[in-house]
Chains A and B, each alone.
Chain A
Amino acid sequence: MILTDYFRVLKINLESGKGQVIHVDGRDKYIGGSGLGAHLFAKFGLIDRPWDDAQQPLIFAIGPLTGLFPLMSKTVCSFKSPYHDQFAESHAGGRSALCLKFAGIDALVIVGKAAHPVCLSLGARHIELKDAGFLWGTDIQSSGKVLRRMSSGSGHRSILRIGIAGENLVATAGINVDTYRHFGRLGAGAVMGSKNLKAIIIEGNSSFELPAGKQYKKLYKEIYKKITDAGMMHKYHDLGTAENITVLNALGALPIRNLGKTSDQAFENLSGEQFADRTLLRNMACAGCPVGCIHVGFVREKFMEPNHYLYRQVAYDFEPIFALGCMLEINDPFEFLALLDVVEKTGLDAMSAGVALAWASEAFEKGMISEKQTLVSIPFGHGKNYRIALEYMARCENEFYRVLGNGVQKAAAKYGGKDFACVLGQEMAGYATGETFFVSQALGLRHSHLDTGGYSFDQKKEMENNKNVDKALEFLVKDEKERVLLTSMVACLFARKVYTSERISQCLESVGVAHIADKQMELAENIRNLRWKNRLATGYDPSSIRISKRFYEVENWKGRIDGTFMDELKSAYANKIVEMGS
């Protein structure tokens, strides 16, 4: 049966090495993905104990439409974050979602701490903990090669692993998925590290009978055609999200030099066109998605004179370009890719790492910190030393880097420089579009630019001269609900224009779950509220979130940030969050 009324959850205890298949009721309440993750966190999470308590769950959940339709290709990871010790969610694609589906489970819950470093290998008919002591300390690329040799199912397996950042419990460490994708934000990598879990290999080796009749296949074809024919998804396939550099630079909304400026012609060197012309090797896709938004570039290193080179493949996107390029005043594509390569190898979150170093560079140039802390000179634009600093961050080389790896806010609290800490709940995403985006990321559940389309709302014409707190608040609350519906299915948010509420209904009906289709928005609202309930229960106080002075100083195409409007919206949204989670 392709969809059951209950969730089939595999719970693994790393201490005993045993797995347990649990049937969890509530498909018609929690849908899957974000909803299932939040429900399982409420069920298994220990709200009063710290994130690194051995019994805290690390949850990976997929949705009812995973694999059944194009771009239903993402996995939601739910956990207690080392970044703020509260409930968190992070999303990734790669092959993870289809592998979980074909492993026959709706969610994987991992509890316990292994006695020594292990790799968890699972599939439809096997669960095994393998010794991974020999992999501890290895980088993401090296461990990937060994893990591929250690497992079967080439092309039909997903390999999740951490680098040294995760092993060292750095709060900005991510989980690498299939080399080019990541559960990047809020420190899921450190959660794996705290469990002595170097890697998870999921083999998707089962299959399901589809519903009889033509309705499902016809609908699949229609959606596939819409996605691949129309200009709708062209941006993502063509230049990819790197296209945003030029768009935001033209608007004066591109954060550059630790948000000291928002526009600079020099950064046209980092445009999508420049990357495509000079660095692009190929596109790749998540399994189940024909778009192929992953853009793989390369770094080339001369390792020996006179002409001996090696090369590595690195996937670029707008967010890493903004964080490790623009924010650090690095405007050469290859110099940027070399930084991203270090981030990828060590398993840091690219956005947090770049924004953290940008703060450090400003503090360094202002004399608030010195080489005594940073060990190497890190003025803006110094690519070679940034590569060393990134390694230091992942390795927790000294007290300064240990603190910096845990986030700018903690570093600024210790060393000063709060005014120019580019933190919106966590290190900022690359949109200096205005008040609504700043508030959305600062207070949003994931502190992600994808929590809501605040950056898009900022660009609405009617908002330019008529800032209205009620309208902005209404947008944030409604948009979050609509996105939660998608992340419960679990769709890639790039497909949000394709998967309207009506089309999701058609999809659900075509695979026999019409009862969810009928009440999808009501369920989405409940899931949104459940996520907030989890977050508040683990200590979140949205009214305590601060937006630093640097954000109030931003000037973009609309002029200077309206501080009064931003404060009022922040306050109203904070109250609304408490209401939604109560």
Chain B
Amino acid sequence: MKILKASLMERCIGCHGCSLACARLVHNRLSWNTCGIRIRSSGGLSTGFEAVTCVACDPPPCAAVCPTGAFLSRKGGGVLVKKRLCIRCGDCADACPVDAIHIDDQGSPFVCIHCGQCVSFCPHECLEMIEKNPAVETTDEPEENQ
């Protein structure tokens, strides 16, 4: 299964279109926080923007610590989320190595589910859906004898 990757963030103009699209289309909210991809400024040498989003760990440590099975390991990396099972403990956010899980005022977690709905709302094509570990291409030619 494909995953979302913010591959070309050097192109980002900081419009927050991806965050707003995720909040709108996945969570039915107007927000740039309660969503699976969030944009922040990057200062210093790399002036511009960076995307804070799930990097599709496989196996995902957030699912491993989830006490109720609300976060389940997703084929291809990342997690499947079953919101109704969540008890808002916040352990998933603590376990995330890249701080990609946002916990809202009510304690609910928001994480990228790699659905790709944000991609078409990025005007500079910073985002893409890719196979995390694409199969290595093989040829029919026999290997040379060493």
- Which residues of A does B touch, CB under 8 Å? 2, 67-68, 70, 98, 101-102, 145, 148, 154-156, 204-210, 212, 217, 220, 224, 228, 282-292, 294, 313
B13 pairs with A283, CB closer than 8 A: yes
Q: Chain B residues with Cβ under 8 A from A224's Cβ?
A: 17, 121
Given contacts A102-B32, A205-B33, A210-B30, contact A156 B40 (CB under 8 A): yes
Per-residue contact bits, chain B 1-43, to A (CB 8 Å; 1 contact, 0 not): 0000000000001111100100111001111111000111101
From A2, A207, A285, A292, contact of B23 by CB (8 A):
A207
Q: How far is the CB of B54 from chain A (nearest CB, A)?
A: 17
Per-residue contact bits, chain B 62-100, to A (CB 8 Å; 1 contact, 0 not): 000000000000000000000000000000000000000
Q: Chain A residues with Cβ under 8 A from B104's Cβ?
A: 207
A155 pairs with B17, CB closer than 8 A: no
Given contacts A154-B40, A284-B14, contact A292 B30 (CB under 8 A): no
In the complex, the chain B residue whose C-beta lies closest to that of A225 is: B120
B47: interface (CB < 8 Å): yes
A282 pairs with B15, CB closer than 8 A: no
In the complex, the chain B residue whose C-beta lies closest to that of A145 is: B43
Q: How far is the CB of B39 from chain A (nearest CB, A)?
A: 5
In the complex, the chain A residue whose C-beta lies closest to that of B11 is: A282
From A2, A148, A205, A288, contact of B20 by CB (8 A):
A288
B16 pairs with A98, CB closer than 8 A: yes
B49 pairs with A155, CB closer than 8 A: yes
The 18 sampled A-B contact pairs (Cβ below 8 Å) are A67-B30, A68-B30, A98-B32, A101-B30, A145-B43, A148-B43, A155-B40, A156-B33, A207-B34, A208-B29, A208-B31, A209-B30, A210-B24, A210-B28, A210-B29, A282-B13, A284-B13, A288-B17
In angstroms, Cα B16 to Cα A224, docked, is 13
B15 pairs with A155, CB closer than 8 A: no
In the complex, the chain B residue whose C-beta lies closest to that of A211 is: B28
Given contacts A67-B20, A287-B15, A288-B16, contact A208 B30 (CB under 8 A): yes
Number of B residues, CB within 8 Å of A: 29
Q: Chain A residues with Cβ under 8 A from B105's Cβ?
A: 206
- Which residues of B does A touch, CB under 8 Å? 13-17, 20, 23-25, 28-34, 38-41, 43, 47-49, 104-105, 121, 123-124
In angstroms, Cα B40 to Cα A56, docked, is 35
Q: Chain B residues with Cβ under 8 A from A204's Cβ?
A: 32
In angstroms, Cα B29 to Cα A101, docked, is 13
In angstroms, Cα B81 to Cα A262, docked, is 63
In angstroms, Cα B22 to Cα A210, docked, is 12
Q: How far is the CB of B15 from chain A (nearest CB, A)?
A: 4
Q: Chain B residues with Cβ under 8 A from A208's Cβ?
A: 29-31
A-B pairs, 8 with minimum CB distance:
A155-B40, A207-B31, A292-B13, A285-B15, A290-B123, A154-B40, A285-B13, A208-B30
A207 pairs with B30, CB closer than 8 A: yes
Q: How far is the CB of B59 from chain A (nearest CB, A)?
A: 29
Q: How far is the CB of B1 from chain A (nearest CB, A)?
A: 25
Q: Chain A residues with Cβ under 8 A from B41's Cβ?
A: 148, 154-155
Q: How far is the CB of A222 from chain B (nearest CB, A)?
A: 13
Given contacts A154-B41, A155-B40, A207-B23, contact A289 B15 (CB under 8 A): yes
A288 pairs with B15, CB closer than 8 A: yes
A290 pairs with B31, CB closer than 8 A: no
Q: Chain A residues with Cβ under 8 A from B49's Cβ?
A: 155
In angstroms, Cα B127 to Cα A180, docked, is 25
Q: How far is the CB of A5 from chain B (nearest CB, A)?
A: 18
Given contacts A206-B105, A207-B29, 20 further A-B contacts (CB under 8 A): A154-B40, A155-B14, A155-B16, A155-B38, A156-B33, A156-B38, A204-B32, A207-B33, A207-B34, A208-B29, A217-B25, A224-B17, A283-B13, A285-B13, A288-B17, A288-B20, A289-B15, A290-B121, A292-B123, A313-B47
In angstroms, Cα B31 to Cα A288, docked, is 11
Q: Chain B residues with Cβ under 8 A from A156's Cβ?
A: 32-33, 38, 40
A292 pairs with B32, CB closer than 8 A: no
Q: Chain B residues with Cβ under 8 A from A290's Cβ?
A: 15, 17, 121, 123
Q: How far is the CB of A125 from chain B (nearest CB, A)?
A: 8
In angstroms, Cα B73 to Cα A189, docked, is 53
Q: Chain A residues with Cβ under 8 A from B16's Cβ?
A: 98, 155, 287-288
